[in-house]
Chain A
Amino acid sequence: MNREQFLESLKTALKGLPEMEVRDILEDYQMHFQEGTVEGRAEADIARTLGDPIDIGRMFRADFMVAKAGKSATFRNVAGAAMAVVGLGLFNLLFVAGPVSAVFLALLTVWMLLVVLALVSVTVIVASVFYALFPSFFVVGGVSPFLLALGVFFLGIGALSLSAILAICMGFLTRFCFRLLADYLKFNLEVIQKRRSL
Chain B
Amino acid sequence: MNTQFKKGALALCVLTILSRKDCYGYELVQTISKNIDVAEGTIYPLLRRLSAEGYFETYLLESTGGPPRKYYRLTQKGHSYRNELETEWTNFSAGVSRILTIPDDEKEKGEMKS
Contact = CB atoms under 8 A, between A and B. Distances in A.
Contacts, number: 82
A186 B92 CA distance: 23
> Which secondary structure dominates chain A's binding surface?
helix
Interface string B43-58: 0111111001000000
B48 A32 contact: no
Interface string B15-33: 0000000001111010001
Interface of A: 25, 28-29, 31-32, 34-36, 38, 49-53, 55-56, 59-60, 63, 67, 193-198
A54 to B, nearest CB: 10
Contacts of A193: 7, 11, 46, 49
Nearest to B14: A198
What range describes how many residues of B lie at the interface? 20 to 34
Interface of B: 3-4, 6-11, 24-27, 29, 33, 39-42, 44-49, 52, 66-67, 69-70
Nearest to A6: B41
6 contacts: A29-B41, A32-B25, A49-B33, A51-B42, A52-B41, A63-B49
B7 A198 contact: yes
Given A31-B26, A34-B67, A36-B26, A56 B11 contact: no
Contacts of A34: 66-67
